[in-house]
Amino acid sequence: MVAINFSVFLDKVETREKRMTIRRTTRGKVGDKLQLYTGMRTKKCRKLVDEDATLQEIAPVKIDETSTQIYRNLFGVVQWAHIDPEDFAQKDGFDCFEDMKTFFRKQYGLPFVGVAHSWHWPDIGIDVEGKA
């Protein structure tokens, strides 16, 4: 079981819209159950979603002023691959790549090298229109 704390995008985690986070270091391993919290180590700690998510993918990521790259196995060759920065930023909860760059530049400086963690939620019997 791996606990991850969030201080931003709480609403997107609670609505299950956010299914990825980028951290400086690896948290857990593929297949681990994730518990997503806010306010960890404080009296205001609370779990953002009742169900535990499952860690689906862990990939090194690099964010700089002009692009995002992810370390992937492409046709048997492990290498840095450019990915769509707008799509990647939106998967992490940002409106656009410019917002993501601003956040990472302020928090960590650019270029930033870290680890993208993506997860999936258990099937809880909700149909396409959101009815149980």
**CA 96 to CA 55: how far, in whole Å?**
24
Is the confidence at residue 45, as pLDDT, over 50? yes
**Per the domain annotation, does 129 fall within a domain?**
no
For 103, the domain range is 2-120
**Per the domain annotation, does 73 fall within a domain?**
yes
**Per the domain annotation, does 18 fall within a domain?**
yes
pLDDT band (50, 70, 90) for residue 128: very low
pLDDT digits (tens, 9 = 90+) for 53-68: 999 999 999 999 988 8
CATH of the domain at 103: 2.30.130
Nearest to 99 by CA among 91, 111, 89: 89
Q: How many domains does the chain have?
A: 1
**Per the domain annotation, does 125 fall within a domain?**
no
Mean pLDDT of 111-129: 76
**Per the domain annotation, does 132 fall within a domain?**
no
Nearest to 118 by CA among 11, 16, 10: 16
**Per the domain annotation, does 54 fall within a domain?**
yes
**Per the domain annotation, does 19 fall within a domain?**
yes
**Per the domain annotation, does 131 fall within a domain?**
no
pTM: 0.84
